[in-house]
Amino acid sequence: MIDKRSGEVSNLEVPDSDATTGIGHTRWSTHGPPTDINAHPHTDCTGEIAVVHNGIIENYDVLKSKLSSHTFESDTDTEVIPHLLEAELKSDTSLREAVQAVVAQLEGSYAICVSVKSRDEIVVARDGSPLVVGYGDGENFVGSDVTAFLEHTQTVTYLEDGDVARVDDGDIEVWNGNQKVERDVERVEWEAEAAEKGGYEHFMRKEIHEQPTALRQTLSGRIDISAATADLDLEFEEAFLESIEEIQFVACGTSYYAALYAAELLERFGDVRTSVTIASEYRFGGGRDPYCTLTVAVTQSGETADTLRAIRRAEAAGARTMAVTNTLGSTVTREVDETLFIRAGPEIGVAATKTFASQVTTLALFSVFLGRARGGISAAKARDVLEDLQRVPGAIQQALDREREVIDAAEKYEDSRSFFFVGRSLGVPVALEGALKLKEISYAHAEGFAAGELKHGPLALVTPETPVLGVLTEGANPAETMNNVTEAQTRGADALGCVSSDTRFRTLDVSFSVPDVGVAEPLVANVYLQLFAYHVANLQDRPIDKPRNLAKSVTVEWLVISWNSRVTKPETHMRTQHKHAF
Ligand code: F6R
């Protein structure tokens, strides 16, 4: 039985069934509009072979032209896969062999999942898109992300590029090429409840409120006050750490802003030159003389295609590499020399919140660690910074406890025409992140920039209908930023500011108080901006956890889709999983 619908997953009504295998997929439209016909799964001419696919088949038109006797129904690239399978699947071929023969013809990136009517097995394959299998009790699972089936099992295997796996209710067998291979079975330490809403209306608000806990996990066991350093379990040799001439960050979106924050800290404490490049814009070298470079990929998912591509370029050019990620077993962790886990726990809301805080905090620890290794920071200063970091979870809790003030501000400004976010120094990445959060979940126009840039152009857009939000805390040059905020106020704009608790800017229309945590104050200010974005979007009744056109993991360079599947014992009630729908 196949049922598929455009729109929300809730549009689909999956009836009770005694089937033992099932596949499901939430598709993002790349080839063809989001219609019922273009929804997954896609089938062959007989309707017996069903396929879901995350990725892009770049040579699908060439393959399709070779299948001239086949009738295609959709506009998708995916549909060639079941038709190719129809040609390969003979009575004496196993489904796994047929899938291997088909994927050998595909160009592009894919994680696919194949189910054939009346067979109690599914076969999956990956190349360039994430794929994880989960081991249940008499039932097994496959997903593009472990959170899809975390409520059923924490025991998983992350498949690698080129892997084809046969999954039924027993053992899971994995092949790579003609070889049967053994892949590590790992235990994910995330609890199932962490991937549930736990009484909150939206994952995003839950995840904003989880930040104190997430940061305690991030910091746990990593601060060594007596040695005035951070213990990050990195295996870089001392000589290498001392010889680094430049740290290059590559990242996208919110992770890029976390990298901007971190780069500033590394310049201050790590005694090292830094650069931060949007991963999709990254080109290594360009004919420069070779020098000692560490390239750091900041990526919550560890699967962002642009970031993976950038880190591969850096590696090919001879740089040492490190990943800062939330995701055990993710592709980036297999490709870099060292990994720093941010330990934020699962983040389900499409908009990154707690992972930004954990990324910045992890990299703040790294800046102290590097500064101590290179002599860029004194023991006394390092202790101050580490003690400030230890106080951040409590400071964020204090900000969260004042959520009512943010709701009042959201009610006052929700209908504004545009929002401007400004800051200086460590306030710049937070201003950029504040604007991104607001635009992505509320759809309001919002722009973030360095406060000094207001007068170089954006001021022309400032009117009484365009509130300006300033990051006015320590670490963000508050007095100078306030001058720029005042420039906007004199053009009639209302001004909202996140202000250090010991400072007053009396002319602000709304102030949010940030406890004293030194260079981490802009990070706490960011919590107010997250709440502001959330409540504006909530007042507008937006689909906050799944904003239009966006996805949690951007696993190819221009689209994303995500799916998950399950194989159960025959007597187990079967239901197709749609939980991990983006
Ligand atoms: C915004 C957001 C995105 C991601 C970006 C990178 O709220 O979540 O901008 O930050 O797609 O994703 P990762 O960190 O997984 O590489």
Which residues form the pocket of ligand 1, taking CB atoms under 6 Å from any ligand atom? 252-255, 299-301, 304, 307, 351-352, 436, 440, 553-554
- Segment 536-555 shows an average pLDDT of 87
Residue with the nearest Cα to atom 7 of ligand 1? 351
| Close Cβ partners of 427 (under 8 Å, ≥ 6 residues apart) | 451, 470, 471, 472, 473, 475, 476, 477, 481, 522, 525
Residues shown for the chain: 582
Task: Indicate the domain borders of the chain.
Answer: 4-194+553-581, 203-400, 403-539
Do 335 and 349 meet the contact criterion of CB atoms below 8 Å apart?
Answer: no
Atom from ligand 1 closest to the CA of residue 304: 16
Q: What is the pLDDT of residue 403?
A: 98
| Close Cβ partners of 451 (under 8 Å, ≥ 6 residues apart) | 422, 423, 424, 427, 431, 470, 480, 481, 484, 485
Rounded-to-integer distance, Cα 355 and Cα 349, Å: 11
State the distance from the centre of ligand 1 to the C-alpha of 553, rounded, in angstroms: 7
| Close Cβ partners of 443 (under 8 Å, ≥ 6 residues apart) | 537, 540, 542, 547, 548
Does the domain at 203-400 match CATH 3.30.70.270? Answer given as no
- Segment 429-441 shows an average pLDDT of 98
Instruction: Band the pLDDT of 568: cuts 50, 70, 90.
Output: low
pLDDT, tens only, 331-358:
999 999 999 999 999 999 999 999 999 9
- Segment 241-266 shows an average pLDDT of 97
Identify which of 88, 99, 175, 203 has the alpha carbon closest to the alpha carbon of residue 580: 203
Residue with the nearest Cα to atom 3 of ligand 1? 253
pLDDT, tens only, 281-321:
998 765 555 578 999 999 999 999 999 999 999 999 889 99
Atom from ligand 1 closest to the CA of residue 350: 8
pLDDT, tens only, 452-478:
999 999 999 999 999 999 999 999 999
Rounded-to-integer distance, Cα 328 and Cα 187, Å: 10
State the distance from the centre of ligand 1 to the C-alpha of 430, rounded, in angstroms: 15
Phi/psi at 28 (nearest 5 deg)?
-105, 130
Identify which of 168, 204, 199, 145 has the alpha carbon closest to the alpha carbon of residue 26: 145
State the distance from the centre of ligand 1 to the C-alpha of 301, rounded, in angstroms: 8
What are the structure tokens assigned to 183, written together?
A: 């892949």
CATH fold of 403-539 reads Rossmann fold (3.40.50)
Q: Say if residue 6's pLDDT is above 90.
A: no
Rounded-to-integer distance, Cα 323 and Cα 333, Å: 7
Instruction: Supply the pTM of this predicted model.
Output: 0.87
Identify which of 421, 423, 486 has the alpha carbon closest to the alpha carbon of residue 448: 421
Q: Which of 188-192, 364-368, 552-556 has the lowest mean pLDDT?
A: 552-556
Residue with the nearest Cα to atom 16 of ligand 1? 299
Q: Which of 13-22, 136-145, 364-373, 394-403 has the lowest mean pLDDT?
A: 13-22
Instruction: Band the pLDDT of 575: cuts 50, 70, 90.
Output: very low
**Which of 252, 333, 359 maximizes ligand 1 atoms within 8 Å of its Cβ, making it the mutation to test the pocket?**
252
pLDDT, tens only, 212-226:
999 999 999 999 999
What are the structure tokens assigned to 527, written together?
A: 């919590």
State the distance from the centre of ligand 1 to the C-alpha of 252, rounded, in angstroms: 6
Q: What is the pLDDT of residue 285?
A: 60
State the distance from the centre of ligand 1 to the C-alpha of 352, rounded, in angstroms: 6
Q: Say if residue 190's pLDDT is above 90.
A: no
Q: What is the three-class DSSP state of 582?
A: coil
pLDDT, tens only, 101-124:
999 999 998 999 999 987 889 999
Q: Say if residue 255's pLDDT is above 80.
A: yes
Residue 347 is which amino acid?
A: E
Rounded-to-integer distance, Cα 423 and Cα 135, Å: 48
Atom from ligand 1 closest to the CA of residue 552: 8
Class assignment of domain 4-194+553-581? alpha beta
What are the structure tokens assigned to 467, written together?
A: 């509130």
State the distance from the centre of ligand 1 to the C-alpha of 347, rounded, in angstroms: 11
State the distance from the centre of ligand 1 to the C-alpha of 392, rounded, in angstroms: 23
Would 4-194+553-581 and 203-400 be classified into the same CATH topology?
Answer: no
For residue 17, give the DSSP letter. Answer: -
Cis peptide before 41 (omega within 30 of 0): yes
Tell me how far the alpha carbon of residue 1 is from its chain's centroid. Answer: 33
